[in-house]
Structure 1
């Protein structure tokens, strides 16, 4: 399978780090990061807030040639240069084939990417057909995300997605699972940082959890996402009582 991947692995070249005490090298999961082998179809990156998920995905995307704020490899806008120095020391193992398509979705800067699409449409009319023939700013947040997945992602691509569930309802997350599977069947590879148990349930995937001991591979049922949601939904009153919101 490895020759069918666009990215086989990534790792940090420790000798290129000038100061291990500064951000982001002070993050425990980053400090202990060794060679990470990616799944040929879908790799999920999970972990607590502050564990380094977004920082790692950003470095991976920029190292592959994507714009730091999101978009395809030909997006060149920059609202503010904020990407970390992790990019400079991250090494990726490229597969034997190149993707025909690709996109880096960064939920926190999607507004900026959508604005850039509008600017490009002004310069080159017709671009919006790849985004549902409608400005992403003229759609709801969730609709704009889903238009991107449905119309811009063509298959045979590398898609790096940071929290794609951020704007999606549970029902749309289920629809995203279907779309993700369609892209996988169309010879795509996806690397996704997420907190969403619905999305994490996708069966043809590898889940890598960023912990204080470093990255580790876990199963869906081993994730806190699964355990917490299952416990809460099975008995929300008991959970509310444990949190001190309801009295026993």
Structure 2
């Protein structure tokens, strides 16, 4: 692991809920007040749409020096986007192993930020700088993701992912689970925002549920998404009758 805790460094009087978004988001409020402690090499952020998990994942990536648009660490942002107000204030308490990377110059940092909605453009940028062996534009979305996982998720570093399952089949998700386990065992750290009960089943991972309550650590079997998927697969009609027109 590289990071033990993330927190927000704010001047006195800034970041109050009255200042608007993102300070009104419950998980951001809790981050400001308490910070976020990491207890395992792999941390999953799980929550409904609009809960703030993607906002949190992006800010953690930006704070570490990963391209805010998606992509690698170790160089100036490839996109024209500046760090968000939250990402620009993000700070970390590193582990002994992560101290040189977190506190050193940007060029010492290793990692990758993969966000589903910008992945194709980000991966094309990786190809232009010879960080990928093939052009993702000539591949399916899922194949491009897997290429990045195999070739860019290879070093000890921080890997932040925002809904990577969006382009992956069942078997590809299983491949990603195996890669996460391998990376975590090798000293890397992974933070993944997801809706996937398959990914979150990784043994030993910490699951942080994000919602109106803020943030709390839960077990896989306690997740609402796990319960819903189990019920749906057992009897789809019990759910579909509420959303389909009669007849």
Is 1:230 the equivalent of 2:230? yes
TM-score by length of 1: 0.86
TM-score by length of 2: 0.86
The answer (yes or no) to whether the contact 1:165–1:194 under 8 Å persists in 2 is yes
Partner of 2:27: 29
Separation in structure 1 between the aligned mates of residue 97 and residue 13 of structure 2, nearest angstrom: 28
Pairs within 5 Å for 1:96-135: 96-98=96-98, 101-120=110-129, 127-128=130-131, 131=132, 133-135=133-135
Which deviations, in whole Å up to 9, do the C-alpha atoms of 1:1-35 show, x marking residues without a partner? xxxx2011112345362553311111122123322
Gaps in structure 1 of 5+ consecutive residues:
121-126
The answer (yes or no) to whether the contact 1:9–1:38 under 8 Å persists in 2 is yes
The answer (yes or no) to whether the contact 1:17–1:89 under 8 Å persists in 2 is no
Partner of 1:178: 178
Partner of 1:17: 14
Distance change (3 Å), C-alpha of 1:16 and 1:163? farther
Q: State the superposition RMSD in angstroms.
A: 2.1
Pairs within 5 Å for 1:197-208: 197-208=197-208
Q: How many residues align?
A: 234
Pairs within 5 Å for 1:1-248: 5-13=1-9, 15=12, 17-21=14-18, 22-33=20-31, 34-81=34-81, 83-98=83-98, 101-120=110-129, 127-128=130-131, 131=132, 133-241=133-241, 243-245=242-244
